Structure 1
Amino acid sequence: MCASFIVAAHIEQNLSIRKTAAIFSVSKSSVQKLVKQQKIEGNLEPKPRGKPRYSHLNNSTASLREIVAAHPDATLLELCELFGQNTGNWVGRTAMCNALQKLGLNRQKNSEK
């Protein structure tokens, strides 16, 4: 059932939380959570799932470009170590690879014949 109908029934028709839950066949705690969310946030939009992901590489594109320019043949592990030494923030290979891809810095070696 739509959350807005549940909250509207509770507030506009002045129904108790238990009676509202029984009418819509949901749990009492669900009605309580919806009413609380409507009062506090002013909306009934679903909350984002999971924890927000944070990377030290998000705000340091300039230093990352400098490291890659200074060490063009460095591996991902070496770039992680250099980034950690320069900034004090240690990141993993996957995070480094994703950051390089976002910046458009290709890590493939150019083979000359």
Structure 2
Amino acid sequence: MPAPLSVDLQQRRIAAYEAKEGAQRQLAKRFKVSLSFIRALLRHYRETGSVQPKPHGGETVAKLGKEQLPIIAALVTAQPDALLKELCARFAAQTGVAVSVSTMQQAVCKLKLSVKKNTNCG
């Protein structure tokens, strides 16, 4: 994601609007931004009283971490001819965490193991 714009520049845009140096459309043209950007900036300023950028959203957390890999290795070792779908079901029964077939495939590839219906680990 790109970095947020500088707070100084945002403050200058707000100051120009408050000093009535032009309408929103004129300010958008002057600062070379879209009209919707100016409107969103002004709305954000009115709601929060600040031009600080909004915080970025959080990252998604992986369902399988390093702690779960030994469990998957044990499941594959116990039944190497199991389908990925079967491994998902056994993993969910053992840990209570449901994972997709593609997530299981990635974990098996990370462990450099082989299972039935295995696709390329490339």
TM range, normalised to the smaller chain?
Answer: 0.5 to 0.7
Alignment RMSD, CA only? 3.9
Please name the residue that 2:37 is paired with. Answer: 30
Say whether 1:58 aligns with 2:65: yes
User: TM-score with structure 2 length normalisation?
Assistant: 0.55
Structure 1 spans left out of the alignment, 5+ residues: none
Structure 1 residue 88, shift from structure 2 partner: 1.2
Q: How many corresponding residue pairs? A: 100
Higher share of residues assigned helix: 1
| Identical columns (%) | 25
Tell me what 1:8 maps to: 9
1:20 aligns with 2:33: no
> When the two structures are superposed, what TM-score results if normalisation uses the length of structure 1?
0.59
How far 1:54 sits from its partner (Å)? 4.3
1:10-35 Cα shifts (integer Å, max 9, x gaps): 428931273532313433441308x8
Moved more, 4-13 or 55-64: 4-13
Aligned to 2:52: 39
Matched, 1:86 2:94: yes
What's the CA shift for 1:90? 1.7
